[in-house]
């Protein structure tokens, strides 16, 4: 409307995230109720999460292409941004199609805050969410594993892969590597959804961990460009089912009355995770070379994978009972 500079870009980005993150948390919180309203058949929640993973992968594939097409047709102008704003408006309008029953919540009061004012009650709810997350081995383990994967993928996409392909004088392939992750995720999530009820969650989790470890080790060596792209596809292919399993496990392990607070705390960690790794990995790449950074990523993912495979918290993924952890 009045010209976009770096300051306004950051301010508007913060404003957008301020609304988007609570909205994302609310949608995740409603998933069990949506599955129940849809009939509540066995495996309904797993199928719903699998479909969501597939749609996310599809959008990762077509989003950059559509964005590039808009810039090509309309140029670098506000027209493309108005179209983007229109998609956000469409999403807001579509949200009215969700049954109000999907968002119904029980009126609960955190122990010790029965007579508290608004700010104190808000703080008590916040503490309760973090306390549950840190006290549940399954939810905490799922958060850590997912956070490490998100952090490493963010560092790869933002730093290592662009620098590697630029060094190889093939900068255009950097986008293909990211597309490879999305393509693998689409196939992996689709297979997971189709196999619900025929393959155990634990089996998918093991496949996801082992496959991702192999993919990250192959990618971390930063060998031939084709190997890096194939490794990216393998990472997406195996990580998508594992992410779906951990997402369902977190939902099922969290009592209904706590789910919004716990998922809010988890999403806060997911947002912080990339910031914790991007700078150190970039520093390693700058000081010791891209190969050292790639090997560091491979070692980090290998250690994370081995710990996840032997962790007792992930052995009962097919028989999850909501925790009895109290809110106070």
pLDDT tens column, 233-277: 999 899 888 888 888 888 888 887 888 888 888 888 888 887 777
pLDDT score of 328 more than 50: no
Q: What separation in angstroms does the CA of 133 have from each of 29, 119, 254, 275, 287? A: 15, 21, 9, 21, 37
Helix axes 201-220, 290-310, angle to 10 degrees: 160
DSSP 3-state assignment of 196?
strand
Stated pTM of the model: 0.79
DSSP 3-state assignment of 171?
coil
The two most distant CA atoms of the chain are separated, in Å, by: 65
**Percentage of the chain exceeding pLDDT 90:** 11
pLDDT score of 213 more than 60: yes
- Does residue 192 contact residue 240 with C-beta atoms inside 8 Å? yes
**Beta bridge pairs of residue 199:** 196
Torsion of CA 104, 107, 111, 113, to 10 degrees: 120
Q: Which of 18-22, 150-154, 227-231 has the highest mean pLDDT?
A: 227-231
Any alpha helices (H) in the chain, and if so which ranges?
A: 6-37, 44-74, 78-94, 118-135, 137-155, 161-167, 173-194, 201-220, 225-253, 259-288, 290-310
pLDDT score of 214 more than 90: yes
Q: What is the pLDDT of residue 324?
A: 53
Which domains occur in the chain, in start order?
Answer: 6-99+119-314 (1.20.1250.20)
Q: What is the mean pLDDT of residues 66-84?
A: 80
pLDDT band at 282 (very low <50, low <70, confident <90, very high): confident
Q: How many Cα atoms sit within 13 Å of 38 on the Cβ side?
A: 15
pLDDT band at 75 (very low <50, low <70, confident <90, very high): confident
Q: What is the pLDDT of residue 211?
A: 92
Q: What is the pLDDT of residue 327?
A: 44
More confident residue, 6 or 285: 6
**Backbone angles phi and psi of 46, in degrees to 5:** -60, -45
More confident residue, 313 or 106: 313
pLDDT band at 93 (very low <50, low <70, confident <90, very high): very high
Q: What separation in angstroms does the CA of 1 have from each of 5, 11, 82, 108? A: 12, 15, 10, 44
Q: What separation in angstroms does the CA of 310 have from each of 25, 150, 313? A: 30, 21, 9
Q: What is the pLDDT of residue 309?
A: 92
Q: How many Cα atoms sit within 13 Å of 36 on the Cβ side?
A: 12
Which residues, at least 6 apart from 281, have a Cβ–Cβ distance to it below 8 Å? Answer: 155, 159, 160, 293, 296, 297
pLDDT score of 207 more than 90: yes
Q: What is the pLDDT of residue 326?
A: 46
- Does residue 237 contact residue 182 with C-beta atoms inside 8 Å? no
DSSP 3-state assignment of 195?
coil
**pLDDT tens digits along 101-136:** 877 766 555 555 455 557 777 788 788 888 888 888
Q: What is the pLDDT of residue 80?
A: 81
| Region of poorest pLDDT, from 143-147, 168-172, 215-219 | 168-172
**pLDDT tens digits along 167-203:** 888 877 777 787 888 888 888 888 888 888 788 889 9
Mean pLDDT across the chain: 82
The neighbour count for residue 252, using CB atoms within 10 Å, is 18
The structure tokens listed for 90 are 């469409």
């Amino acid at each position: 409307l009045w010209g976009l500079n770096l300051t306004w870009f950051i301010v508007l980005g913060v404003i957008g995230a301020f609304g988007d993150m609570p909205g994302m948390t609310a949608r995740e919180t409603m998933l069990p109720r949506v599955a129940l309203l849809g009939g509540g058949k066995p495996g309904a929640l797993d199928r719903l999460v699998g479909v969501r993973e597939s749609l996310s992968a599809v959008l990762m594939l077509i989003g950059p292409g559509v964005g590039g097409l808009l810039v090509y047709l309309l140029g670098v102008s506000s027209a493309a941004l108005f179209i983007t704003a229109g998609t956000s408006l469409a999403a807001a309008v579509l949200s009215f199609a969700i049954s109000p029953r999907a968002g119904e919540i029980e009126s609960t009061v955190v122990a010790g805050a029965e007579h508290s004012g608004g700010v104190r009650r808000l703080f008590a709810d916040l503490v309760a969410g973090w306390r549950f997350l840190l006290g549940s081995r399954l939810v905490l383990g799922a958060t850590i594993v997912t956070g490490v994967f998100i952090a490493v993928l963010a560092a790869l996409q933002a730093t290592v892969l662009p620098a590697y392909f630029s060094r190889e004088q093939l900068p255009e392939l950097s986008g293909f590597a990211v597309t490879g992750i999305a393509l693998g995720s689409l196939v992996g999530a689709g297979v997971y959804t189709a196999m619900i009820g025929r393959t155990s969650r634990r089996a998918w989790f093991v496949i996801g961990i082992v496959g991702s470890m192999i993919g990250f080790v192959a990618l971390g060596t930063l060998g031939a460009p084709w190997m890096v792209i194939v490794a990216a596809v393998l990472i997406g292919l195996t990580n998508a089912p594992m992410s779906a399993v951990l997402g369902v496990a977190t939902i099922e392990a969290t009592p209904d009355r706590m789910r919004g607070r716990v998922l809010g705390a988890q999403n806060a960690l997911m947002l912080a995770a990339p910031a914790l790794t991007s700078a150190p990995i970039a520093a390693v790449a700058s000081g010791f070379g891209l190969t050292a950074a790639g090997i560091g990523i491979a070692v980090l993912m290998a250690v994370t994978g081995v710990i996840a495979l032997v962790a007792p918290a992930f052995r009962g993924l097919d028989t999850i009972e909501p925790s009895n952890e109290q809110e106070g």
